[in-house]
Amino acid sequence: MPRQSGAFAIALLLAVDAGAAAAAEESYVTDPAHSQPSYEIRHTIFSTQRGDFTKSTGKITIDRDAKKGSVDVNIDTTSLRSHDPRLDSILKGEDYFNVAKYPMMTFKSTAMRFEGDRLTGVDGELTMIGVTRPVTLKVADFQCGENPFNKKPMCGAEVTTTIKRSDWGMKAGVGRSSGDDVKITIPIEAYRE
């Protein structure tokens, strides 16, 4: 009897799994508190500056069978924090993010990259201070599970890329007080809708 009920349970699980796979496209919304973008940039000859944006929103759709999907992220540039209070107003000012004129930074995907059935990258366009340029995001540790508290299905990942800020026309201080390369790291936690 126990063996039979065990077999039944496995059959049920397989059926549920098949059911889940049939619903090909899944839609996710990022949890902003657990998905804060951060950056790292060389400053002077020997320092590295780090900072983050505390406010962002993101929508992700993914179809693992068809290996496609979309990523749409908006970052509130007014939420920039450089970890150096003296710098915040400079970075939010006209020479850098000019947040009064460009309060939003956006990333819109053009294609998703898969290795096997694992998401490993996202090609897209980053719009910053009014300039749009192509960017490829590396996606590491993409995995899904559920939140143990609210039992909601969710996925997590670590997204990284390095851009040259001068490509977006943000040239102040390049080659003098600070670097051109900006390393961006975005942890992602997103709940299934």
Partner 1 sequence: MRRPTRPAGPQGCRVGALLFAVATLAATIGSAEAAEPVSIYRVDPDLTTAQFAVSHLGLSMQRGHFGRTRGTIVLDPEAHAGRIDFIVDASSIDTGWAARDTFLRGEDMFDTAHYPVVRFRSTRLAFDGARLVGVSGELTMHNVTRPVELYVARLDCGRDQESGRDGCGAEVDTTIKRSDFGMRYALGIVGDDIGLSFQVTAFRVSSDDEADEP
Minimum CB–partner distance for residue 1 and partner 1 (Å) = 34
> Considering only 11-19, 82-90, 119-127, 131-139, which stretch makes contact with partner 1 by CB under 8 A?
82-90
Compute the half-sphere exposure of residue 121: CA atoms within 13 Å on the CB side of its CA: 9
Q: Which of 99, 103, 101 is nearest to 89 (CA)?
A: 99
- Greatest distance between any 2 Cα atoms in the chain: 77
99 close to 78: Cβ distance less than 8 angstroms: yes
19 part of the interface to partner 1, by CB under 8 A: no
2 part of the interface to partner 1, by CB under 8 A: no
Signed CA dihedral, 127, 130, 131, 132: sign only: positive
177 part of the interface to partner 1, by CB under 8 A: yes
Minimum CB–partner distance for residue 119 and partner 1 (Å) = 14
133 part of the interface to partner 1, by CB under 8 A: no
Look up residue 182 and give its DSSP letter. Answer: E
Instruction: Give me the residues that bind partner 1 (CB under 8 A), please.
Output: 33-36, 38, 43-50, 52, 54, 81, 83-86, 141, 143-145, 147-148, 154-158, 176-177, 185, 187-189
